[in-house]
């Protein structure tokens, strides 16, 4: 029974290696990129758990997680989040993710999370204080938040316009406002900021 870890973060790799050496016979395979993991998935029938670092470059949000779940329907998927977000965790669980945990848990907490992720329940672990009112609250309008969420899922302006039944030029107007309010350089940077702040 193999555990596949998708992250380029060496600290996370070391922590998983350390925890799995302490009382687990499950071999750990590490992929630094999403592309490497997606190539490996079809041929690995022994895969029991897929742990994905949500901060992996090129991941592209929850769409990639959905693809990985479809590629390995019998494996449990654990999402490692650098910025705590109950909203993202809930979305991920609706898509079929087993659990969402902070990317940098202590060894003992990670061991407990891995054990719980093998159970029948869904798992969301958030650090103390992460449920307090966000400083981002009220920064964006409801429509801007909706558009930002779809942007973070990898949708283009045309797709977003179709989703809401509005003109593409209206989406572009909202996107410019989002970029300005977040102090971003472009739409990609805006998506990165939103994910880092747990806004979507």
DSSP for residue 128: T
Give 133's pLDDT tier (boundaries 50, 70, 90). very low
Exposed, middle or buried by CB within 10 Å (0-12, 13-18, 19+), for 176?
exposed
Confidence of residue 23 (pLDDT cuts 50, 70, 90): low
pLDDT of residue 135: 52
Give the residue from 124, 155, 185 where a domain finishes: 124
Residue 136: inside a domain, yes or no? no
Domain that holds residue 110: 2-124
Neighbours of 69 (CB within 10 A): 20
Domain with residue 46: its CATH number is: 3.40.50.2300
| Amino acid 88: pLDDT | 81
Interatomic CA distance for residues 149 and 145, integer angstroms:
6
What count of residues does the chain have? 200
Q: Are residues 22 and 58 in the same domain?
A: yes
The residue out of 92, 124, 156 marking a domain boundary is: 124
Instruction: Specify whether 90 is located in the same domain as 182.
Output: no
Same-domain status, 24 and 82? yes
Q: What is the pLDDT of residues 62-104, one digit of tens each?
A: 888 888 888 776 788 999 988 777 778 888 898 889 999 998 8
Say yes or no: 16 and 76 in one domain. Answer: yes
**Are both 52 and 114 inside the same structural domain?**
yes
- Pair (108, 172) in one structural domain: no
The CATH number of whichever domain residue 154 belongs to comes to 1.10.10.10
H helix runs in 7-81, sequence order? 10-21, 34-40, 62-71
In a domain, 130, yes or no: no
Q: How far is CA 137 from the centre of its chain?
A: 21
Tens of pLDDT, residues 148-172: 988 888 889 998 888 888 899 999 9
Q: Is residue 10 part of a domain?
A: yes
Instruction: Please tell me the total count of domains within the chain.
Output: 2
Q: Is residue 137 part of a domain?
A: no
Q: 79 and 6 in one domain?
A: yes
């Amino acid at each position: 029974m193999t555990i596949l870890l998708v992250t380029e973060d060496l600290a996370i790799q070391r922590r998983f290696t350390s925890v799995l050496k302490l009382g687990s016979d499950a071999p750990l395979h590490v992929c630094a990129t999403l592309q490497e993991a997606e190539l490996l998935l079809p041929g690995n029938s022994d895969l029991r758990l897929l742990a994905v670092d949500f901060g992996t470059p090129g991941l592209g949000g929850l769409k990639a997680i959905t693809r990985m779940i479809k590629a390995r329907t019998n494996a449990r998927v654990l999402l490692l989040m650098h910025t705590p977000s109950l909203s993202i965790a809930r979305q991920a669980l609706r898509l079929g993710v087993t659990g969402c945990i902070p990317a940098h848990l202590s060894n003992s907490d990670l061991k407990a999370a891995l054990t719980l992720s093998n159970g029948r329940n869904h798992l969301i672990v958030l650090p103390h204080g992460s449920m307090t009112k966000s400083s981002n609250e009220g920064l964006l309008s409801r429509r801007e938040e909706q558009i930002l969420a779809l942007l973070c899922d990898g949708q283009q302006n045309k797709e977003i316009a179709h989703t809401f039944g509005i003109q593409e030029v209206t989406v572009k107007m909202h996107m410019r406002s989002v970029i300005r309010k977040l102090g971003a350089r472009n739409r990609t940077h805006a998506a990165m900021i939103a994910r880092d702040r747990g806004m979507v």
